Amino acid sequence: MNGRNTVWDAVKTFRRTHLAAQADKLPVDVFSLVELALRIDVIPFDDLTARYKVDAALTQDFQSLYVDAESYVLWEKGPIWKQNRLRFTVAHELGHYVLHRAQAEQLKFASFDDFARHFKGGDTDRYGVEQEANEFAGRLLVPRERLAEQFDRFAAGIEAIMPTWLKSEDLRLKFADSVAPKFGVNAQVLLTRLDREGLWSAP
């Protein structure tokens, strides 16, 4: 399994390779990365979420990405929370593409059902693989430098009036709610990044 620093290094390399010209653009355009940068075909899949409990999934050969058809059609017009969830899921699949492609290409499956069951199984190795893809997605969508800028700006404004602000979970939640839209993620993703990046852990 990859350690956190290995995942972070992979994100850094990926951003330098594929996002250098758009380093300051947020939210990250995950579908341009998939379709234009990596030349992965996006295939709308009817009822993918209902049948497999995922919004998107790479095919075994890593040449295509199944996306829940309804979510894909509503990508730019659907509820913001749904757009954010799909953005994170696609970024998660990019994590698998970057981190786990070599491992997955060695495995053989008789059907997409078998492929989906394998990577959604509950054993320790697969759990680790999923956590790594989540970490990749979180750091890709919420670059530490940009999050730190938001955090420092918030800290400068509140430090003088509330010296114990870091101990307030309510303020932490409000900060996440206000900043998450800048990155195109849900507040829970932002809270996770605050913790993982060592900026503002839960009291």
Quickly list DSSP for 102-154.
HHHHT---SSHHHHHHHHT--SHHHHHHHHHHHHHHHHHHS-HHHHHHHHHHH
Given this model, what pLDDT does residue 113 score? 62
What count of Cα atoms within 13 Å lies in the side-chain half-sphere of residue 116? 14
pLDDT of residue 116: 58
Identify the residue whose tokens are 């050969």: 61
Q: 42: pLDDT confidence band, cut at 50, 70 and 90?
A: very high
Q: Around 184, how many Cα atoms within 13 Å sit in the side-chain half-sphere?
A: 21
Which residue has better confidence, 138 or 61?
138
Q: How many CB atoms lie within 10 A of CB 42?
A: 15
Q: What whole-number percentage of the chain has pLDDT above 70? A: 90
Q: What integer pLDDT is reported at residue 17 of this predicted model?
A: 95
The DSSP secondary structure of 18-76, one letter per residue, reads HSGGGTT-SS--HHHIIIIIS-PEEEEETTHHHHHS-SEEE-TTSSEEEEEHHHHHTTT
| Cα–Cα dist 7/5, whole Å | 5
- When the pLDDT of each residue in the chain is averaged and rounded to a whole number, the result is 90
Of the candidates 102, 157, 156, 99, the one whose C-alpha atom is nearest the C-alpha of residue 131 is 99
Chain-centroid distance of CA 34 in Å reads 13
Q: Determine what percent of the chain is predicted with pLDDT higher than 90.
A: 73
Contact 194, 151 (CB under 8 A): yes
Q: Report the pLDDT value the prediction gives residue 109, as an integer from 0 to 100.
A: 67
In this model, does residue 118 exceed pLDDT 70?
Answer: no
Other CB atoms within 10 Å distance of the CB of residue 172: 20
Residue 112 has pLDDT above 60, yes or no: no
pLDDT at 167: 95
The closest of 187, 143, 148 to 169, measured between CA atoms, is 187
Confidence of residue 122 (pLDDT cuts 50, 70, 90): low
DSSP state of 2: -
| Architecture of the CATH domain 4-141 | Orthogonal Bundle (1.10)
Inter-residue contact 94 to 30 (CB < 8 Å) = yes
Least confident span in 58-67, 123-132, 161-170: 123-132
Q: Where are the domains of the chain?
A: 4-141, 144-196
Q: How far is the C-alpha of 129 from the C-alpha of 182, rounded, in Å?
A: 28
**Range with the largest mean pLDDT of 55-59, 74-78, 168-172:** 168-172
